[in-house]
Chains A and B, each alone.
Chain A
Amino acid sequence: MIKFQDVEVTYKTGLKALKGVSLEIPRGQFVVIVGLSGAGKSTLIRTVNNLVPPSAGEVIVGDRSVTRARAAELRRIRSDIGMIFQTFNLVKRSTVLRNVLAGRLSDANPLASLAGVFSRSDIALAHDCLARVGIPEKAYVRADALSGGQQQRVGIARALAQRPEVMLADEPVASLDPPTSHSVMQDLKRVSREDGITTLVNLHFIDMAREYADRIVGMRDGLIVFDGTPEEASDEAFENIYGRSIDIEKDLRGAA
């Protein structure tokens, strides 16, 4: 379970990215967050693992306060939260397996991990995670030799290797072509279901949000402006989230 309590984020530049967000996400739910660029989606997701610390309010994951945790405690919480990124964020010059093993770092023996040594069970788990996203044969290939879709699958495998309770996905398919986007979203949804992972996904595409979400949260200007099922997320609801028409033709005519 994830609980946001009146979360506010003000960046050093003075930008107020979140203006008081309260939200409760039950265990195992697959939530898609939609909104324009700059609405606060990425910031919201990053408060869950404290990559962006809230300037007010609190985020609770399970029964632990992420916001109050420091140093070692924060690392322990983070080790239970997987994250995947728009630009995949793999170490391109390292092998796929080494990238996936990075997901085991927080639980691995610290000294052995610095020497690049992992336990047999960790290595077996890494291979298993690659198999679950359909690229077991790529383990010893350099990460930059893979296609975008394959790289994002390595990203999912790395997150899975953490055996996470929560999965965060920040625009996971925004750099991929439409067919690849769908297959990556299907993989993400499937592994979340199989492991009962609570998942938060930022998405740009309305059709994808409706297709994969258990629940859609709409954000505009640092606030939640919609919260409902995909069935409730009508075109009118989306127009309210985006603050403008989603019909391109109408939009163009309106702008002229």
Chain B
Amino acid sequence: MGLPKAPVLKAVQSWATVAVVLALLWVSAVQTDFNFEALTTGTADFFRFFTRLAPDWRALPEQWQPLIETISIAWLGTVFGSILAFPLIFLASFNTTFNTPVLWVTRSLLTLLRSIPDLLFAAILAPVLVIGPLPGVAALTLFTLAIIAKFGSETVEAIDPGPLEALRAAGATRTQVIVYAVIPQVAATMTSYVLYVFEINVRSSTVLGLVGGGGIGMLLNTYLAFFDYGAIGVLIIVTFAVVILIDQVSNFVRTRLL
């Protein structure tokens, strides 16, 4: 008596996947003129540049204010975006939406929003909203809105449908079902996602200033214009420290939530 045969199709699929990945790698390398030689010949230049980044700590005091502005931009964008995303989450989930057209219109809108990078948002909005923190907050609000609505609807669609059926059976309205059966099931996960997006936004907001979005990036722009590498060195170290600190705190809170 022989063992059952391993399915041939599975193996073919695995090898096909590997082949596709390798082919894409080759095409991308050709398109970008990538070669390892340039990496090695550039090493000397890199180290020369790196030594010029030796921090000049006199620049530190003027960096606190833009740094706080950067974190504030990230926080405001996260909060505003999450609030705006809240109603959309339920419109974009099959188990809480009104009907199929509403579901698809909401989902398409969110897909469109997600396809635009936050830097592009900031660059488009900066001339309209006056260069500074405002376009930064607006850009991160839109980014957060799109990503939280997506995470949110995926979370809502994965919940246990039992309690929803029970409350519908008891004559509850759609809104009551959401408040009593859906939100308790997703609240902890969603809070964790919001904190995670805040972490991403802190990182984004450090460079938003490069395109007119306010915060530490604007300062970086000025330093670059004046070849003030010592100040840039300080800025990199400070940014690094703050991002790590926020990641750690946020991570700690998130693990306690779940």
Residue A255, interface by CB 8 Å: no
Expressed in whole angstroms, the Cα–Cα distance for A93 and B200 within the complex equals 29
Residue A94, interface by CB 8 Å: yes
Within 8 Å CB of A51, what residues of B? 165, 168-169
Query: What DSSP secondary structure best describes chain A's contact surface?
Result: mixed
Residue B172, interface by CB 8 Å: yes
Stretch among B45-53, B107-115, B124-132, B173-181 lining the A interface: B173-181
Are B166 and A83 within 8 A (Cβ)?
Answer: yes
Residue B184, interface by CB 8 Å: yes
Residue A158, interface by CB 8 Å: yes
Instruction: Please give the distance in Å from A153's CB to the nearest CB on chain B.
Output: 15
Are B181 and A76 within 8 A (Cβ)?
Answer: no
Are A91 and B185 within 8 A (Cβ)?
Answer: yes
Expressed in whole angstroms, the Cα–Cα distance for A64 and B173 within the complex equals 20
Residue A224, interface by CB 8 Å: no
Within 8 Å CB of A79, what residues of B? 170-171
Within 8 Å CB of A90, what residues of B? 163, 166
Q: Which of B167, B171, B179, B187 contacts A114 (CB 8 A)?
A: B179
Expressed in whole angstroms, the Cα–Cα distance for A89 and B170 within the complex equals 12
Are A102 and B171 within 8 A (Cβ)?
Answer: no
Are B166 and A78 within 8 A (Cβ)?
Answer: no
The B-contacting residues of A in range 150-197, CB under 8 angstroms, are 155, 158-159, 162, 168
Interface size on A, residues (CB 8 A): 34
Residue ID in chain B nearest A78 by CB atoms: B171
Are B171 and A110 within 8 A (Cβ)?
Answer: no
Are A83 and B163 within 8 A (Cβ)?
Answer: no
Given A89-B162, A89-B163, A94-B184, do A76 and B176 touch, yes or no (CB 8 Å)?
no
B141-185 near A? 1/0 per residue, CB < 8 Å: 000000000000000000010110111111111011001110011
Residue A240, interface by CB 8 Å: no
Expressed in whole angstroms, the Cα–Cα distance for A231 and B140 within the complex equals 71
Given A85-B162, A102-B166, A113-B176, do A75 and B185 touch, yes or no (CB 8 Å)?
no
Residue A105, interface by CB 8 Å: yes
Within 8 Å CB of A155, what residues of B? 166
The B-contacting residues of A in range 72-111, CB under 8 angstroms, are 74-79, 81-83, 85, 87-94, 98, 102-103, 105-106, 110
Within 8 Å CB of B180, what residues of A? 91, 94, 98, 102, 105
Residue ID in chain A nearest B175 by CB atoms: A114
Are B184 and A78 within 8 A (Cβ)?
Answer: no
A10-29 near B? 1/0 per residue, CB < 8 Å: 00000000000000000000
Are B172 and A102 within 8 A (Cβ)?
Answer: yes
Q: Which of B165, B179, B184, B188 contacts A89 (CB 8 A)?
A: B165
Q: Which of B162, B171, B185 contacts A105 (CB 8 A)?
A: B171
Within 8 Å CB of B162, what residues of A? 85, 87-89
Most A-side CB within 10 Å, residue of B172, B175, B184, B188 = B172
Expressed in whole angstroms, the Cα–Cα distance for A158 and B162 within the complex equals 14
Residue A49, interface by CB 8 Å: yes
Q: Which of B163, B173, B185 contacts A110 (CB 8 A)?
A: B173
Residue ID in chain A nearest B163 by CB atoms: A91
Are A105 and B170 within 8 A (Cβ)?
Answer: yes
Nearest 9 pairs of A and B residues by beta carbon = A106-B171, A79-B171, A89-B162, A78-B171, A89-B166, A83-B169, A75-B171, A105-B172, A91-B163
- A residues within 8 Å of B by Cβ? 49, 51, 74-79, 81-83, 85, 87-94, 98, 102-103, 105-106, 110, 113-114, 116, 155, 158-159, 162, 168
Pick 5 A–B contacts, CB within 8 A, sort by A: A74-B171, A91-B185, A93-B187, A105-B172, A113-B179
Given A82-B170, A85-B162, A105-B173, 14 more pairs with CB closer than 8 A: A78-B171, A88-B162, A89-B162, A89-B165, A92-B185, A93-B184, A93-B185, A93-B188, A102-B181, A105-B167, A105-B171, A114-B179, A155-B166, A158-B170
